[in-house]
Amino acid sequence: MAERTRCLDIDFQIRIMNDADYESMSAFSCGVKSLDDFFRYEVRECVNRHYLAAFCAVLNNGEIASAFTLMNDALMIGGETEKSDFIEGLRYEVGTDTVDFFNRQTSYPAINIGHLGVATAYQNHGIGMAIVDLVADTFSKYRQAGCQFITIDSLNNPRTTKFYLANGFSFQTDRDFYSLTRRMYRIL
């Protein structure tokens, strides 16, 4: 997934985190304590245990401008009412009927973008959007296994919600309206 990306006036490269990057995370701050703590203290162990893959957006000077994780996921749909609402929502979003196989499923293959944080100095420059678009482009072309959706568990605050809605995500349910995170998805 290492690709050079031009984003407004910032030139960066996305790569898999290496040992030096893990060490550099002690200076990284996206302004959200839980995300900063995850990247400082937990990400390396999660990678070592094959729970997720960690990536970073690195500037030409070597500074980490963003960090994020990817992991396999499934979009789970429970109950006939929730499934019916979900399928109807997809028909509305995609503008077409779904095939019978799709209608019979209770879970759908997905890739989860987790722990996406952009360093405070580089927020609002399009780096997060470029990462979401790169993941969408990569997994919509990936042919080794099925992947129909990108999922995220968005921090439930207006700024984060606005970012994901602007980048094509929808809420999976309203049952998590008052939770710390909201489950969202984007069709590939």
Which of 116, 119, 114 is closest to 27 using CA atoms?
119
Averaged pLDDT for residues 110-127: 95
Q: Which residues contact 170 (CB under 8 A, 6 or more apart)?
A: 89, 93, 184, 185, 186
Tell the residue number behind the tokens 């799709």, with chain if given: 102
Cα dihedral 161, 89, 144, 55 in deg (nearest 10): 0
The CB density around residue 14, as the number of other CB atoms within 10 Å, is 22
Concatenated DSSP letters of 76-125 = E--SHHHHHHHHHHHHHHH-SPPPHHHHH-SEEEEEEEEEEEE-GGGTTS
Q: How many CB atoms lie within 10 A of CB 104?
A: 8
CATH of the domain spanning 3-187: 3.40.630.30
Half-sphere exposure of 150 (CA within 13 A, CB side): 24
Which of 30, 20, 54, 18 shows the shortest CA–CA distance to 128?
30
What letter would DSSP give residue 98?
A: P
Q: Which of 66, 49, 51 is nearest to 5 (CA)?
A: 66
pLDDT at site 4: 45
pTM: 0.86
Number of Cβ within a 10 Å radius of residue 138: 16
pLDDT > 70: percent of the chain: 81
Q: Which residues pair with 38 in a beta bridge?
A: none
pLDDT value, residue 102: 65
pLDDT at 84: 63
| Angstrom distance (rounded) from CA 161 to CA 56 | 22
pLDDT score, position 6:
43
* Number of other CB atoms surrounding residue 175 within 10 Å: 11
